[in-house]
Structure 1
Amino acid sequence: MQTQTTEALLQYNEKRTKCLVYTRVMGYHRPVESFNIGKKGEHKQRTHFRECKS
C-alpha cells in the first residue's frame, strides 16, 4: 500500500499544489503555517473527533 501511494505521489507531483490549513484560535481563523514551533506541535497533538448525528 505504501509503495502505491509513493508511486502515485511521484507520478502526479507536478500537478500538486500547496494546501493552506486553517484552524480556529481564540474565536478567529488563522493559518497553521503562521504558528510558532510550540503552537505547531500543539496542533499536531490535537485529537480529531466526529460528532454523532442525533
Structure 2
Amino acid sequence: MNTTKTKEALLLDSNTEKRTKCLVYTRVMGYHRPVESFNIGKKGEHKQRTLFVEKGCCN
C-alpha cells in the first residue's frame, strides 16, 4: 500500500507542467462565485460546509 502512494506521488510530480488549475465555484446569494476570490473568513466557512444530496420524493 505504501508503494502505491509513492507511485502516485511520483506520477503527480512528473506531470506538473501538464496539470491545469481547477477553479471551484459555489453559489452565494443566487449567483456563482469562485472560492479563490473569498477572504480568509469566507474560505474557512466554505471548508466547514457539508455536501448533502436530497432523496427523490417519488421513487
Q: TM-score, normalised by structure 1?
A: 0.80
After superposition, the CA RMSD in angstroms is: 1.6
Asked which structure has the greater CA Rg, the reply is: 2
- Take 1:15 and 1:45, find their aligned partners in 2: how far apart are those partners? 31
Q: Runs (4+) of structure 1 moved beyond 4 Å?
A: none
- Take 2:51 and 2:42, find their aligned partners in 1: how far apart are those partners? 17
**Percent identity of equivalent pairs:** 70
Number of corresponding residues: 54
Equivalent position of 1:25 in the other structure = 28
- Take 2:24 and 2:36, find their aligned partners in 1: how far apart are those partners? 7
Q: TM-score, normalised by structure 2?
A: 0.75
